[in-house]
Amino acid sequence: METIKRMAEHMYWADERILDALEESGTKNKDLLKLVRHIAVAEQVWLSRLQGKGSTQYSLWEEAEDLSEVRIMFKENAEQYRVYIEELEESKLDEIIDYANQSGVPFQTSVRDILLQVLLHGQYHRGQINRALRAESAEPVQVDYITFARL
């Protein structure tokens, strides 16, 4: 459980850092804004599934109106994941969750694997955002776990 908690803290930190980098860059790249919003919405989708709720109300690939909307989403996600993880007993990590993906296809996945998906998914997309920032001659931001661990 401690590893999951630590990785979750990294996710909250990295979400905030990538958003700061996007704001500082002043980018108007709609694909980047859509991608950072996608990270936030995907976190919501998976939490909803972990809580036994549906996720069809979420649209994973809408454009972000502005980054303040995404910042609010990240803040709320961090608060809700902290509560969920804090209340989660280690014995429940291997419990199987039944859910449907956004297309309605049913799946069964353990709580552990869902949490790992959430924790790793954003890192993949933050790397894509950093690469695009570099291509726009903006400064990418360090979001590696080791950077977080050294704080």
**Alpha-helical segments (H) within 26-62:** 30-50
What is the DSSP code (8-state) at residue 95? -
- Is 38 labeled as ligand-binding? yes
Q: Is residue 67 exposed (0-12), middle (13-18) or buried (19+ Cβ within 10 Å)?
A: middle
Annotated binding-site residue? 10: no
Q: Annotated binding residue at 121?
A: yes
Q: How far is CA 123 from the centre of its chain?
A: 8
Distance CA 110, CA 92 (A): 9
Cα 47 to chain centroid, rounded: 10
**Two tokens, residue 78:** 């961090």
The pair of three-digit structure tokens given for residue 119, joined into one six-digit string: 């924790």
Helix axes 67-87, 2-25, angle to 10 degrees: 170
Q: Which residue ranges make up the annotated binding site?
A: 38, 121, 125
Q: Which residue ranges make up the annotated binding site for a divalent metal cation?
A: 38, 121, 125
